[in-house]
Structure 1
Amino acid sequence: MALLVLKFGGTSVGSPERIQAVAERALKLREEGHQLVIVVSAMSGETDRLLGLAHALNPRADGRELDVLLSTGEQVTIALLAMALEARGCDARSYTGAQVTIRTDSAHNKARIRSIDDARVRGDLEAGRVVVVAGFQGVDEEGAITTLGRGGSDTTAVALAAALKADECRIYTDVDGVYTTDPRLVPTARRLHSITFEEMLEMASLGSKVLQIRAVEFAGKYNVPLRVLSSFEEGPGTLITTEEDAQVEQALVAGIAFNQNEAQLTVQGVPDQPGVAHRILGPIADANIEVDMIVQNVGADNSTDFTFTVHRNDYDKALEILQAAAKALGAREVSGDTHIVKISVVGVGMRSHAGIASKMFEALSRETINIRMISTSEIKISVVVDEKYLELAVRALHDAFELEQTPVGQQEDG
């Protein structure tokens, strides 16, 4: 008998029929002898509907009141799922985040979990009940309702699994696992049998939207085995685990990730002197704008060209700040481009194998795709290219690293 934490997202509980299907799946697992804690999101579209109501009344609504409002979406779902289970003769008990208690800090709309009191949940499990918990929410030290931000139900599920020392945390979604890249771009993309926490964290941070980044960080920190599965069809999904637990014949490259939400900014002709980088990026950081990739080139005339990327939503604000900083520095020109994309090759196998970068650059060169920027880490290589080359570049890299083929030692199961 295993203790499983199951998480179902908005599309998985988006209608009474789908809630019935979740109840049926839970019953099947119960019949196999498993103890179950089920974490659910609000029904699909409900959070946006509630936000619309708030903005209609007050476009600058206080974060505390927004959390009170938004937390009701999950409260509806937990009650309905508990009712569906009870209608099938299964003893179930629903809890909001505050009732569990999931204790958070007081950062409304983006709170972080500090602790979980698992006594009530454990008591219900020992009594033979299925426990249904509202994802995405908690309560601070003052008793105020808090929410964890978009995708926060994933984090709730992983945190509960860690607190309960669950055997596995299963994230049910509208895809049947983690793929080598987006199947909509590359039809030959392959579902991964397993992937390491490190690889999944990179994939998530680079644009793969299967899991919330904070949930992967939490799972890696507390070594919670994660499995991504489809809510709508049977299958083994993808296991996210430690590097040691992954297959012995780990592929050099796990997948190709991409991020279209990037914008590039360049300051040309900056005097090459100490402190210049800080004078450029300091005001950007002060405006709470995150900088991603940075490239600095020193010319023969003792001037510097300084290029960096930011989230596309921050482009206009960053450009305005940069123009003011450039004027103070006596720079020659400021330019920007929102039509770029970052593409990354990710894999823990890179640690022990040379030539990955060379192979990546060769594949892009064959397609005459110009690389604007490059950054590397221990398990990833990222490049910035023109957005128009996105599909061509991803397909070329997927083919170059033969990601459509199952690595030796990994058996596809289902």
Structure 2
Amino acid sequence: MALIVQKYGGTSVGTVERIQAVAEKVAKFRARGDQIVVVVSAMSGETNRLIELAKGITDEPTPREMDVLVSTGEQVTIALLSMALHKLGLDARSYTGSQVRILTDSAHTKARIEDIDDHNMRADLDAGRVVVVAGFQGVDAQGNITTLGRGGSDTTAVALAAALKADECQIYTDVDGVYTTDPRVVDNARRLNTITFEEMLEMASQGSKVLQIRSVEFAGKYGVPLRVLHSFQDGPGTLITVDDEVDMEKPVISGIAFTRDEAKIIVRGAPDTPGIAYKILGPVGAANIEVDMIVQNVGKDGAADFTFTVHRNDFKRAQQALRNASEELGNPEIIGDDKIAKVSLVGVGMRSHAGVASKMFEALAGEGINIEMISTSEIKISVVIAEKYLELAVRALHTAFELDQPVAG
């Protein structure tokens, strides 16, 4: 008997019929004696619908009330799935994040899990019940409903698997595994049989939408066996493992991640003095805005240009935070561009192979694509380019690094 945590995304539970199909899949696992915890997202499109309702009231709803609103989507799904399981003769019990008591901090819309009370879940599992938990949500110490950010149901599933010491965490979605890049952009993208936690972490952080970054962090930190599978197609999926097993046949690059949700802010003519980076980024951080890539250039006459990227949704707030601090910064020019994109090469093979960056730059130059910013780590190279060239860049790099070719052996 195994204890398995399964997570089903929005498209997997997008209709009543699909919810019933999920219930039938869960029933098969129960029939072989497994203990099952199911984590579900809101039905496909429901979160967007709720957000639009909020926008119909105000352009700037308070984060606390947004959490109260959007958390209702998952509550609908857990109730419907539990009903479908009951109809199949299975004992099931649904829980919201606050009922489980998934304790988080108080950062509304971007909360982080601090603790999980597994007492009720374990009691239900021991009683033979299927436990159905709302993903994406929790509660802070004051009892306020919180949400974990888009894709947070993945994080919920992995965190529950870690708390329960589950034998496996299975992420069911509308793709049959992790691919070398998005198949909607590159037709001949390949499914990977395995990928390391380290690579998956970089892929997720650089824009791959298959798994949320915090779910990969949780899985790697607690050693949770993690597998990405298709909701309604049989197959092995992709296993995410702590063992990198890099050998002579493994490609230098495992995948290409990208994101269109980038914006660039340039602070031009700030004083080139010690602490200026903090003075620029301090107000941005205080506004709970995450900064990604950073470039600082020394200009003329003791002035400096400071460029950084943020999520496009935070673009206007970041600019306003800087304008509010403009006098302390020496009244520099603050300009921006929210029509940029980021493309990243990821692969543990980079550690033992030189020339990856030059090959990347050559491929982009061959397509006439200008690079605006560059960032590197041990297993990743990222570039910022104009958004209009994104898909062209991804296809060119996929071909240049032969990611469409089957792996030998």
Deviation per residue, 1:159-200 (Å, 9 max, x gap): 111111111111111222111111111111111111112211
Partner of 2:378: 378
Q: Which residue of 1 aligns with 2:216?
A: 216
Q: How far is 1:21 from its partner?
A: 0.5
Separation (CA, whole Å) in 1 of partners of 2:139 and 2:318? 35
Q: Compared with structure 1, are the counterparts of its residues 134 and 283 closer, same or farther at alpha carbon in structure 2 (3 Å cutoff)?
A: closer
What's 2:190 paired with?
Answer: 190
* AA in 1 matched with 2:356: I
The alpha-carbon deviation at position 128 of structure 1 amounts to 2.5
- Cα pair distance change 1:149/1:320, threshold 3 Å: closer
Q: Which residue of 1 aligns with 2:91?
A: 91
Change beyond 3 A, Cα 1:360–1:159: same
Aligned-partner residue type, residue 348 of structure 2: V
Structure 1 residues 199 and 362, CA, compared in 2 at 3 Å: closer, same or farther?
same
1:228 pairs with 2:228: yes
> What letter corresponds to residue 28 of structure 1 in structure 2?
K
Q: Quick one: which amino acid aligns to residue 75 of structure 1?
A: Q
Residue number in structure 1 paired with 2:149: 149
Which one is further off, 302-311 or 60-69? 60-69
Contact 1:78 1:94 survives alignment (8 Å): yes
The amino acid that maps onto 1:223 is G
- Larger mean Cα displacement after TM superposition, 124-133 or 104-113: 104-113
Q: How does 1:245-256 map to 2 (within 5 A)?
A: 249-256=249-256
1:165 equivalent in structure 2: 165
1:158 to partner: Cα distance: 0.7
**Letter of the 1:7 counterpart:** K
CA distance in 2, matches of 1:66, 1:24: 33
* Counterpart for residue 366 of structure 1: 366
Whether the 8 Å contact between 1:199 and 1:379 is mirrored in structure 2 is yes
Matches of 1:58 and 1:367, distance apart in 2: 43
The aligned counterpart of 1:126 is 126
Letter in 1 for 2:218: F
Structure 2: segments with no counterpart, 5+ residues: none
Q: Per the alignment, do residues 9 and 334 of structure 1 end up closer, same or farther by CA in structure 2, a change over 3 Å counting?
A: closer
State the secondary structure of the residue aligned to 1:261: strand
Pair 1:110 & 2:110 matched:
yes
Q: TM-score, normalised by structure 2?
A: 0.88
> Contact 1:90/1:130 (CA < 8 Å) preserved in 2?
yes
- Give 1:354's aligned amino acid: A
Partner Cα distance (1:330, 1:56) in 2: 36
Distance in 2, Cα, partners of 1:253 & 1:140: 40
Identity %: 70
In structure 2, how many angstroms separate the alpha carbons of the residues matched to 1:322 and 1:61? 22
Verify the 8 A CA contact 1:194 1:247 in the aligned structure 2. Answer: no
What is the distance in 2 between the residues matched to 1:276 and 1:141? 36
Deviation at 1:81, TM superposition (A): 1.5
Greater mean alpha carbon deviation, residues 343-352 or residues 257-266: 257-266
Tell me the equivalent position of 1:412.
Answer: none
Runs of at least 5 residues in structure 1 that lack an aligned partner in the other structure: 410-414
The residue type equivalent to 1:43 in the other structure is M
Q: Which residue type is aligned with residue 87 of structure 1?
A: K
Change (3 A) 1:48 1:326: same
- Rg (Cα) greater in structure: 1
Task: Name the CA shift for 1:342/1:49 in 2 (closer, same or farther; >3 Å).
Answer: closer
Contact kept, 8 Å, 2:350 with 2:378, in 1: the verdict is yes
CA distance in 2, matches of 1:244, 1:63: 40
SS in 2 for 1:227: strand
SS in 2 for 1:11: coil
- Matched with 1:243 is 243
Q: Write the mapping of 1:23-38 to structure 2, written as runs, cut at 5 A.
A: 23-38=23-38
Residue aligned with 1:189, SS: coil
Letter in 2 for 1:45: G
The reply to whether residue 135 of structure 1 matches residue 138 of structure 2 is no
Q: State the secondary structure of the residue aligned to 2:125.
A: helix
Closer, same or farther: CA 195–321 of 1 in aligned 2, 3 Å: same
